[in-house]
């Protein structure tokens, strides 16, 4: 296996949500194979700065596959070709000598471009604010050990809670739907007794906010499930639909 590769890199450049975007092409030479994708972009930016050009803007934070900030659409895949991984967990050894690598932002009306490949994902925050929480009487919480929860339910709730809200599901969906994200956040609370008192209100409020913000409808193509870096299941979408129908019937 080669210790380094050279390839053609095409990155999306756009000055803002209303600006017209375009691709810039760069020839990357002798990039070590053990370099992460974001480190490769760091190398690109160092070269751009040294030549007096504007660096390429992309989002990142922890670089440990936890926060989901590294939202890049790489060669037709949100987060890149690696399965069950974020962009920061993608290494250049996944690519081959002479490859053309195309990098784009999340494409969604609800995620307007801030600059280049950084998009505004505050729509997800607004959905959570609409109902992705439980109300508690602070100062008088019940002892957690006193709330008996079957392990199967606890495990399923934890699986749903692993959603990092990166927006990959929206980018993968041909309709720009946020159903996998919303259903995961609803499921993690619907499966636990702490979340049941407000279940009906939560399902309606979060779905209504999702529609208000311009996300598309789910047509069960399962692209979201296939691309999700945390392997969230579309079983969560079925649960959200049940919760929403029950809430509507209760009305």
Interval 29-39: pLDDT, tens: 999 999 999 99
- Residue 146 has what pLDDT? 82
- Residue 138 has what pLDDT? 76
Query: Rounded to whole angstroms, how far apart are CA atoms 17 and 111?
Result: 9
For 162-198, b/e burial (b = at least 16 CB within 10 A) is ebbbbbbbbbbbeebbbbbbbbbbbbbbbbbebbeeb
Please check the confidence at residue 142 and state whether its pLDDT lies above 90. no
- Residue 251 has what pLDDT? 76
Interval 82-132: pLDDT, tens: 999 999 999 999 999 999 999 999 999 999 999 999 999 999 999 999 999
- Give the mean model confidence (pLDDT) for residues 146-152: 90
Average pLDDT of the residues of the chain: 95
- Give the mean model confidence (pLDDT) for residues 146-156: 92
Percent of the chain topping pLDDT 70: 99
Alpha-carbon distances of 130 from 126, 170, 208, rounded to whole Å? 6, 19, 9
Percent of the chain topping pLDDT 90: 90
- Residue 1 has what pLDDT? 47
On whether the CB atoms of residues 227 and 144 are closer than 8 A, the answer is no
- Residue 97 has what pLDDT? 97
Interval 214-232: pLDDT, tens: 999 999 999 999 999 999 9
């Amino acid at each position: 296996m080669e210790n380094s590769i050279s390839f053609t890199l095409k990155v999306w450049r756009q000055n803002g949500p209303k600006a017209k975007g375009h691709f810039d092409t760069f020839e990357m030479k002798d990039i070590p194979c053990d370099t992460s994708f974001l480190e490769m972009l760091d190398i690109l930016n160092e070269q751009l700065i040294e030549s007096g050009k504007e660096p390429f803007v992309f989002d990142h934070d922890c670089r440990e596959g936890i926060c989901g900030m590294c939202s890049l659409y790489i060669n037709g895949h949100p987060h890149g070709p690696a399965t069950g991984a974020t962009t920061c967990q993608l290494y250049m050894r996944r690519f081959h000598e002479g490859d053309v690598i195309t990098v784009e932002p999340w494409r969604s009306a609800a995620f307007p471009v801030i600059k280049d490949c950084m998009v505004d994902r505050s729509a997800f925050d607004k959905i959570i604010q609409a109902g992705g929480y439980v109300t508690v009487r602070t100062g008088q919480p019940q002892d957690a050990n006193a709330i008996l929860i079957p392990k199967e339910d606890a495990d399923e709730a934890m699986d749903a809670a692993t959603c990092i809200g990166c927006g990959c599901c929206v980018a993968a969906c041909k309709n720009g739907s946020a159903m996998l994200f919303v259903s995961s956040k609803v499921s993690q609370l619907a499966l636990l007794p702490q979340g049941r008192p407000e279940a009906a209100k939560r399902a309606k409020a979060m779905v209504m906010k999702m529609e208000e913000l311009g996300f598309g409808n789910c047509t069960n193509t399962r692209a979201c499930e296939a691309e999700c870096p945390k392997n969230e299941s579309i079983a969560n979408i079925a649960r959200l639909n049940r919760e929403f129908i029950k809430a509507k019937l209760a009305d």
